[in-house]
Amino acid sequence: MLTKAPRGTRDILPSEVEQWQFFEEKVRELCRLFGYAEIRTPVFEHTELFLRSVGEVTDIVAKEMYTFTDRGDRSLTLRPEGTAPVARAFLEHKLYGEAQPLKVYYIGPMFRYDRPQAGRYRQFHQFGVEVFGTKEPSLDAEVITLSLYVFRALGLEEFTLQLNSVGCPHCRDEYRSCLQEELHEKLNRFCPDCAGRFHKNPLRILDCKQESCQELTANVSLLLDKLCGDCAEHFAAVRESLDVLGEPYVVNPRLVRGLDYYSKTAFEIVSPVLGAQSSLGGGGRYDHLLATIGGPDVPGIGFGIGIERVLLARAAAGSSLPESKLTDVFVVTAGNVSAAEALRVVIALRRQGVAADKDYLGRSLKAQLKFADKKQARYVVILGDEEMKRDQAVLRDMQTGGQEDVALTELASMLAGLVKGAKR
Ligand code: HAM
DSSP string, 291-310: HHTTS----EEEEEEEHHHH
Half-sphere exposure of 278 (CA within 13 A, CB side): 14
SS3 181: helix
CB-ligand 1 contact for 55 (6 Å cutoff): no
CA-wise closest residue to 295 among 102, 48, 90, 104: 90
Amino acid at 135: K
State the Cα–Cα distance between residues 419 and 343, nearest whole angstrom: 19
CB-ligand 1 contact for 300 (6 Å cutoff): no
> In angstroms, how far is CA 413 from the centroid of its own chain?
39
254-263 average pLDDT score: 94
Q: Are 179 and 157 in contact (CB under 8 A)?
A: no
Ligand 1 atom 9: residue of nearest CA: 281
Atom of ligand 1 nearest to the CA of 80: 25
How far is ligand 1, taken at its centre, from the CA of residue 136, in Å?
24
H helical segments located in 293-364: 307-316, 339-351
State the Cα–Cα distance between residues 369 and 361, nearest whole angstrom: 13
Q: What is the pLDDT of residue 47?
A: 98
pLDDT band at 6 (very low <50, low <70, confident <90, very high): very high
Torsion of CA 11, 13, 18, 20, to 10 degrees: 0
Amino acid at 360: Y
Q: Of the ranges 59-63, 76-80, 179-183, which is most confident?
A: 76-80
Residue of 262, 267, 279, 301 to mutate, ligand 1, most atoms within 8 A of C-beta: 279
User: In this model, does residue 356 exceed pLDDT 80?
Assistant: yes
State the Cα–Cα distance between residues 134 and 297, nearest whole angstrom: 11
How far is ligand 1, taken at its centre, from the CA of residue 114, in Å?
13
Ligand 1 atom 16: residue of nearest CA: 120
How far is ligand 1, taken at its centre, from the CA of residue 141, in Å?
19
Q: With pLDDT > 90 as the criterion, what percentage of the chain qualifies?
A: 91
CB-ligand 1 contact for 128 (6 Å cutoff): yes
User: In this model, does residue 228 exceed pLDDT 90?
Assistant: yes
Ligand 1 atom 23: residue of nearest CA: 306
Measured over the CA atoms of residue 234, residue 207, residue 132 and residue 61, the dihedral's sign is positive
CA-wise closest residue to 134 among 94, 168, 99, 84: 99
Measured over the CA atoms of residue 137, residue 143, residue 149 and residue 151, the dihedral's sign is negative
User: In this model, does residue 325 exceed pLDDT 80?
Assistant: no
Q: What is the pLDDT of residue 276?
A: 86
User: In this model, does residue 422 exceed pLDDT 80?
Assistant: no
CB-ligand 1 contact for 59 (6 Å cutoff): no
CB-ligand 1 contact for 304 (6 Å cutoff): yes
State the Cα–Cα distance between residues 121 and 113, nearest whole angstrom: 8
SS3 382: strand
Ligand 1 atom 15: residue of nearest CA: 306
266-271 average pLDDT score: 97
Could you tell me the maximum CA-CA distance found in the chain, to the nearest angstrom?
A: 96
SS3 252: coil
Amino acid at 186: K
User: In this model, does residue 309 exceed pLDDT 70?
Assistant: yes
Q: Are 134 and 121 in contact (CB under 8 A)?
A: no
CB-ligand 1 contact for 281 (6 Å cutoff): yes
What 8-state DSSP symbol labels residue 188?
G
CA-wise closest residue to 21 among 103, 127, 93: 127
Domains of the chain: 14-168+228-316 (3.30.930.10), 329-418 (3.40.50.800)
User: For residue 6, what are the CA distances in angstroms to 2, 3, 11, 118, 121?
Assistant: 10, 10, 10, 16, 11
Q: What is the pLDDT of residue 424?
A: 64
How far is ligand 1, taken at its centre, from the CA of residue 211, in Å?
24
Q: What is the pLDDT of residue 237?
A: 98
User: Kind of pairing, strands 37-38 and 279-285?
Assistant: unpaired
CB-ligand 1 contact for 283 (6 Å cutoff): yes
CB-ligand 1 contact for 282 (6 Å cutoff): yes
How does the average pLDDT of the chain come out, rounded?
A: 95
363 backbone dihedrals φ, ψ, rounded to 5°: -70, 160
CB-ligand 1 contact for 121 (6 Å cutoff): yes
Q: What is the pLDDT of residue 261?
A: 97
Amino acid at 314: R
* Nearby residues of 399 by Cβ (< 8 Å), 6 or more positions away: 378
Ligand 1 atom 30: residue of nearest CA: 303
State the Cα–Cα distance between residues 122 and 111, nearest whole angstrom: 5
CA-wise closest residue to 270 among 128, 164, 127, 159: 159
Ligand 1 atom 2: residue of nearest CA: 282
Lowest mean pLDDT among 246-260, 293-307, 316-330, 404-418: 316-330
User: In this model, does residue 75 exceed pLDDT 70?
Assistant: yes
Residue of 27, 164, 309, 310 to mutate, ligand 1, most atoms within 8 A of C-beta: 309
303, with CB counted inside 10 A (0-12, 13-18, 19+), is buried
Ligand 1 atom 29: residue of nearest CA: 303
User: In this model, does residue 43 exceed pLDDT 70?
Assistant: yes
Ligand 1 atom 14: residue of nearest CA: 306
Beta strands in 133-255 (DSSP E): 160-165, 250-251
Q: What is the pLDDT of residue 200?
A: 87
